[in-house]
Amino acid sequence: MSDLCAVSPHNLPIRVLVVEDHHVVRQGLVALLNVTDGLEVVGEAADGVEAISQFRKYQPSVTLVDLRLPRLSGVEVIERIRMETPGARFIVLTTYDGDEDIYRALQAGARAYLLKGMTSEELIATIRSVHSGKSYIPPAIAMKLAERLGTEELTPREFDVLEQIVHGKNNKDISTELKISETTVKTHINRLLGKLGVTDRTQAATSAIQRGLVSLEMSTHRIHIK
């Protein structure tokens, strides 16, 4: 962690925005950062829409953002803010370590990806590192990202079918919902089973949730083939 100890230039405090929907967690982060030398929490938000508003108002140096937020996801927050402010610096702070979650967050422009089990020292060092222009991905997260990059991506239609499987739909239901034939549904299922490296729909659903491909609370995020 020694390479994460860059300090704020000119001894100015690093202005931090905390975006977290769980009140107790958010208040704990705010309390920790506000008693840390060189850091200053300038704003906090409990959902994705409020996060964008707070960012525009305070223009923080670094934003801590959870992935699962009401109204807009953490990835959507990063994408929308970076469209307005390309240089905005984000640290994802989450309980989710699925390879697809990691991939989406970093693709959106996050500079670091931390799990909430990290130490306060690691969090503070990462904030200073990101503020200085560096990125930080813990080794365990980097391994999952490498595995994700080595797998074949699903097509948008395969994502549609996978989402239906996760929600317990049979082939006939999927056919009706997506307005395609049952034969086409079976073709998509066979292809996505191969890409996911599983042998049946139960394993496919489990893998999809564990990897963050499909969330039960959120709609599927489409990722197009390169």
122-144 per-position pLDDT tens digit: 999 999 999 999 988 877 777 76
* Domains of the chain from N-terminus onward: 2-148 (3.40.50.2300), 156-211 (1.10.10.10)
pLDDT digits (tens, 9 = 90+) for 165-175: 888 889 998 99
Distance CA 12, CA 28 (A): 23
Name the amino acid, one letter, at 23.
H
pLDDT value at position 102? 78
The dihedral region occupied by 197, where left means phi > 0, alpha psi between -120 and 50, and beta the remainder, is left
Task: Assess contact for 162 and 214: CB atoms under 8 A.
Answer: yes
Angle at 95 between CA 119 and CA 115, to 5 degrees: 35
3-19, pLDDT tens digit by residue? 444 444 557 899 999 99
Instruction: Flag whether the pTM goes above 0.75.
Output: no
Residue (of 137, 179, 136, 138) closest to 160 by Cα position: 179
Token look-up 């659903």 returns: 205
